[in-house]
C-alpha cells in the first residue's frame, strides 16, 4: 500500500518524469514519505548528507545562520521541487538548513539510490543541472538586489518574487511574515514594518483578508 502510494507521488514529480516503470518501482521501495509541521528542520546546515528530498506539499525556507544566531533566508522551496542535492554531489557538509514554513509532505531518497539513478539517466542529470542553473540565476538576482537597491526596492523585489497574476491583479497569496521578509533582505523586522506601512499609505500595496496582498503595478518603479 505504502509502496503504491509512494509510486503515485513520485510519478507526479517533474524531476522523475524521465524514469521508467522499473526505476520508479526501485525508487518507491527506497524512499520514505514524511510529514513535518511548521518550524521543523529537514536538513541541518553543516551536517553530513544522507538523502535527497522532494517536497510534495507545503513550503520550506533555505536558511543559513552565523555563530551569533543571525539568519538569512536564501530561498523558499515550493511543492514539486527537490533539495539536498548539493552535498550529495560534492560530498561536502550541508550548505544550508531547510526548515518548514508550514506543514510539509516530502519524500526522502537515500544518497546511494539517488546517485545510481543519476548515473542511469542523462535526462535526470539534465533536470538537476537546469534546477541548479535556475538557483544560480536567482542567487545572482539576489546579489544584485542586495548590492544595488535600497530597502524599499528590496522589499518590492521580495513581494514581486512571491506574487502571481490572478484575474489581472498582482497578488501575494500566502502570508509573508515581516520577520521572514527581513531575513531575506538583510534588514530588521522593524524596518520592514516601516517600509510596508509606507508602501500601503502611498498606495503601492493593498492588504487583503487572510494576509493576502495586492500589489499595484507602480511598485516596479522601486526596482530601477
Lateral strand order in the sheet of 71-78: 41-43, 97-100, 59-65, 71-78
Nearest CB to ligand CMP, comparing residues 61 and 199:
61
Q: Point out which span in 21-29, 82-90, 152-160, 198-206 binds ligand CMP (CB under 6 A).
A: 82-90
183 forms part of the interface with ligand CMP (CB under 6 A)? no
94 forms part of the interface with ligand CMP (CB under 6 A)? yes
- The SS3 call for residue 10 is helix
Site for ligand CMP in 47-66 (CB under 6 A): 49, 62
75 forms part of the interface with ligand CMP (CB under 6 A)? yes
CB distance 61 to 87 below 8 Å: no
| Alpha helices (runs of H) in the chain, residue ranges in sequence order | 2-11, 21-30, 85-90, 111-120, 122-148, 151-161, 178-185, 189-201
- Among positive and negative, which fits the CA dihedral 51, 55, 56, 58? positive
Of 13, 15, 19, 43, the residue at the interface with ligand CMP (CB under 6 A) is 43
Site for ligand CMP in 123-152 (CB under 6 A): 135, 139
Q: Quick one: cell of 189?
A: 523586522
158 forms part of the interface with ligand CMP (CB under 6 A)? no
86 forms part of the interface with ligand CMP (CB under 6 A)? yes
195 forms part of the interface with ligand CMP (CB under 6 A)? no
Amino acid at each position: 500500500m505504502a509502496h503504491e502510494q509512494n509510486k503515485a507521488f513520485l510519478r507526479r514529480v517533474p524531476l522523475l518524469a524521465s524514469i521508467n516503470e522499473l526505476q520508479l518501482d526501485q525508487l518507491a521501495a527506497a524512499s520514505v514519505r514524511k510529514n513535518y509541521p511548521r518550524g521543523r528542520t529537514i536538513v541541518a546546515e553543516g551536517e553530513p548528507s544522507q538523502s535527497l528530498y522532494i517536497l510534495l506539499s507545503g513550503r520550506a525556507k533555505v536558511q543559513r545562520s552565523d555563530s551569533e544566531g543571525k539568519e538569512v533566508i536564501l530561498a523558499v522551496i515550493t511543492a514539486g521541487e527537490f533539495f539536498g542535492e548539493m552535498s550529495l554531489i560534492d560530498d561536502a557538509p550541508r550548505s544550508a538548513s531547510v526548515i518548514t514554513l508550514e506543514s510539509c509532505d516530502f519524500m526522502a531518497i537515500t544518497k546511494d539510490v539517488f546517485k545510481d539513478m543519476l548515473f542511469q539517466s542523462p535526462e535526470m542529470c539534465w533536470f538537476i543541472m537546469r534546477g541548479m542553473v535556475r538557483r544560480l540565476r536567482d542567487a545572482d538576482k539576489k546579489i544584485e538586489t542586495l548590492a544595488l537597491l535600497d530597502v524599499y526596492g528590496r522589499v518590492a523585489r521580495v513581494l514581486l518574487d512571491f506574487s502571481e497574476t490572478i484575474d489581472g491583479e498582482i497578488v501575494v497569496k500566502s502570508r509573508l511574515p515581516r520577520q521572514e521578509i527581513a531575513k531575506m533582505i538583510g534588514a530588521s523586522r522593524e524596518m520592514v514594518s516601516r517600509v510596508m506601512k509606507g508602501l500601503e499609505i502611498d498606495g503601492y500595496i493593498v492588504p487583503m483578508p487572510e494576509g493576502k496582498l495586492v500589489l499595484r503595478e507602480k511598485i516596479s518603479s522601486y526596482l530601477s
